[in-house]
Structure 1
Amino acid sequence: MKGHKLIYFTILIVFILAAAGCTNNTKESKKTEQDQKTALPKFDVTAAKSIKVNRIYGIGYPGNDNALYVAAGNGLKIYKEANWFETTTNRHQYMGFQAVEDGFISSGHPQKGTGLKNPLGLVKSDNKGETLKKLAFYGKGNYVFMASSFSGKGLYLISDQETDQLNTGVNYSKDNGQTWQPSKFKYFQADSLGMMAVHPVNGDIMAMSTRSGIYYSTDNGNTMKLVTEPFMATALTFAGDSLLFSSVENDKILLKTLNPATAEQTNVAIPFLDYDNPITYLAVNPKNLNQMAFTTYKNDLYESSDGGKTWNNIFLKGEKEQE
């Protein structure tokens, strides 16, 4: 994988990179006062009178909370029992957000005044972001393109530059980020890298969506197999042993399930989406496969509790007023 040209595909990727200014260097941290603490409110999770987000960087169902988490540009937004909640402080810009069994793993940038270095590197929280455990690259890197198994036994990231621990391209860790190995990506023929997903239990199994279809691997991305036709896939996640993915085909936004072993695909009905509003993130609750959600480029959020038979529009264009 070393030396592979990183061409991040779809308007989503361009949008994220441009909006976030993501790099793996530390110039920004040297120019800010992130190491200095300022007076911030005491951490709490409170009901939100209204929700407004202008950037979404990931969604998921942490195993230690019966809720849908949205990683937004202004901190975590939590949807639980048909109500929205948000944190009073620690409103970090979580990027590469991954829900896991005991909380979430993320990269990104800290809220000013928290005393945390910028960028965050890889951090983990088991208490809704009240505290962060530093896993790797603290103050050194921001990794927008990450994936983790729900069990936490497989962690992947894409690095845009070579470091003493990472190769350019896809790297994986089996020990919570302490050591890293490059994914060799043998038989990978797409001209782009895209979103990754990891099997919820077996961290050796991963998949990647590209503008040339979906690639699947059972050995940490060392060998890759194209398991779909060469269409543009914009997002994917695991639903048990199957994949749930979105594609753009014949100017239509589609949602499907895929059995990687047989390549069998099944359509999942979704509300109509304009061609310029593709699906950007997908999430399935590993504890309840009928519970799933997706976001779109224009910051719409939909959730289903019956396996995709019906969908609830939780917010539109990043906004929602509590009833």
Structure 2
Amino acid sequence: MKKTLILPSLLTTLLMTACASTPSNETATQSEAPTVETDQASQQTEADNWKQVGTGAAVSHIHGAGFWQEDARPVIATHTGLMEFREDGWYELMSNRHDYMGFELVEDGFYASGHPEQQSAFKNPLGVVRGTERGETLEVRSLEGEADFHHMSAGYTSESLYVYLEEPTSELQSGFYRSLDKGEAFEPMKMDGTARYGIAGLLADANEPLRVYVYGPDGMLVSDDGGDTFDSLIADEPILLAATDGTTLAYVREAAAYELVLRQTGNETILSLPNLEADVVPIELAVEEGRLLLATSDNSVYLFEEGSWSTLLHAGVAK
């Protein structure tokens, strides 16, 4: 049976629609793209490759968030590439400034989809790309010029990919897919046990390649066979976002106010979120060893560490 992604209207607007502006890339689409694209000045220092963002600069279209592997700096994927937060403010990577979608960090890099920057040799859309060297090198894994995955989750150590394909490609119909070979090929997920549930998102387990979660207005389901069959894990809780680092399952639920729940073996902790405006919705969440990174629909970014929240980006304006 064909499965349909069912979402509350608000989540549909925020999470399942494409960027309002898609980069024009007709010339690049018609040409043959290389497998790997790197910054031309490969010998530049970090300070040369990353430029500090000026106070008051606007940041928009956050489509991914996490912590870099080497130094645990917060990083976000935006409409114009990657940004990382340092002690003295935000920095942006001056190469590979693509409109990343489905951005997901893994043990030594990241996976992403989306649209290439203008004048890029990559075809539009990007398909599945794998980034290394903090985003300075990108390798096309598959579906370049065919697929733009807004919903992609990658296992941090396993690198299993779980995706929802909105628009069909030349070989794949719309629906849920998994890749167990790091994005080179995709096979459909049967999704048995999900027919009565609305699905707002997918979450790959950090370590177990065949474990995947789906969540939405009815709670959370879990599969241990790659998404073919699902069982209930959390019932009757409207879940907007979820993330895991292998030891902690973190999710945002909608109660009287948004709450952040941290689940570990035999333990559950509830945290209040930062004060949000009435129409602002959490859209990105990352967890790593007790630290949390949260992005919201007004392009704000918040960091939780040592028991409290701090604001890294307020309403899309760099501090």
TM-score (norm 2): 0.86
Q: Which piece of structure 1 moves more, 117-126 or 173-182?
A: 173-182
**1:311 corresponding residue in structure 2:** 309
Residues 314 and 190 (structure 1), Cα distance of their counterparts in 2 relative to 1, 3 Å cut: farther
C-alpha contact 2:154 2:160 (8 A) present in aligned 1: yes
**Amino acid across the alignment from 2:286:** A
C-alpha contact 2:261 2:271 (8 A) present in aligned 1: yes
**Amino acid across the alignment from 2:310:** N
SS in 1 for 2:286: strand
1:100 aligns with 2:71: no
**1:320 corresponding residue in structure 2:** 318
C-alpha contact 2:106 2:159 (8 A) present in aligned 1: no
C-alpha contact 2:239 2:254 (8 A) present in aligned 1: yes
**2:120 corresponding residue in structure 1:** 114
Residues 186 and 22 (structure 1), Cα distance of their counterparts in 2 relative to 1, 3 Å cut: farther
Match of 1:215 among 212, 221, 224: 221
Q: Percent identity?
A: 25
**1:225 corresponding residue in structure 2:** 231
Match of 1:278 among 266, 278, 281: 281
Q: How many residues align?
A: 305
> What CA deviation, in whole Å up to 9, does each residue of 1:221-264 have, x standing for no partner?
222122223232110001323310001123x11111235x76x6
C-alpha contact 1:253 1:273 (8 A) present in aligned 2: no
1:293 aligns with 2:298: no
> What CA deviation, in whole Å up to 9, does each residue of 1:130-179 have, x standing for no partner?
22100110111100000001114311110125556545321111111222
Structure 1 segment 113-152 matched on structure 2, within 5 A: 113-152=119-158
**2:36 corresponding residue in structure 1:** none
**Amino acid across the alignment from 2:98:** H
**2:6 corresponding residue in structure 1:** 7
**Amino acid across the alignment from 1:142:** D
Residues 100 and 82 (structure 1), Cα distance of their counterparts in 2 relative to 1, 3 Å cut: farther
C-alpha contact 1:124 1:132 (8 A) present in aligned 2: yes
Measure how far apart 1:47 and its partner are.
2.1
TM-score (norm 1): 0.85
Residues 32 and 204 (structure 1), Cα distance of their counterparts in 2 relative to 1, 3 Å cut: same
Residues 10 and 100 (structure 1), Cα distance of their counterparts in 2 relative to 1, 3 Å cut: farther
> What CA deviation, in whole Å up to 9, does each residue of 1:100-126 have, x standing for no partner?
111111000011012221000000110
Name the CA distance, whole Å, in 2 between partners of 1:52 and 1:22: 16
RMSD between aligned residues: 2.7
**2:261 corresponding residue in structure 1:** 256
Match of 2:28 among 27, 31, 34: 34
**Amino acid across the alignment from 1:20:** C
Name the CA distance, whole Å, in 2 between partners of 1:113 and 1:157: 28
Match of 2:248 among 232, 242, 247: 242
Measure how far apart 1:60 and its partner are.
1.3
Name the CA distance, whole Å, in 2 between partners of 1:119 and 1:68: 26
Task: Name structure 1 gaps, 5 residues minimum.
Answer: none
Match of 1:188 among 186, 194, 201: 194
**1:20 corresponding residue in structure 2:** 19
C-alpha contact 2:258 2:272 (8 A) present in aligned 1: no
Residues 93 and 152 (structure 1), Cα distance of their counterparts in 2 relative to 1, 3 Å cut: farther
> What CA deviation, in whole Å up to 9, does each residue of 1:44-89 have, x standing for no partner?
2122223421211110123245321101112111113453110223
C-alpha contact 1:58 1:95 (8 A) present in aligned 2: yes
> What CA deviation, in whole Å up to 9, does each residue of 1:257-291 have, x standing for no partner?
235x76x6431232233442221111012xxx122
Measure how far apart 1:41 and its partner are.
8.8
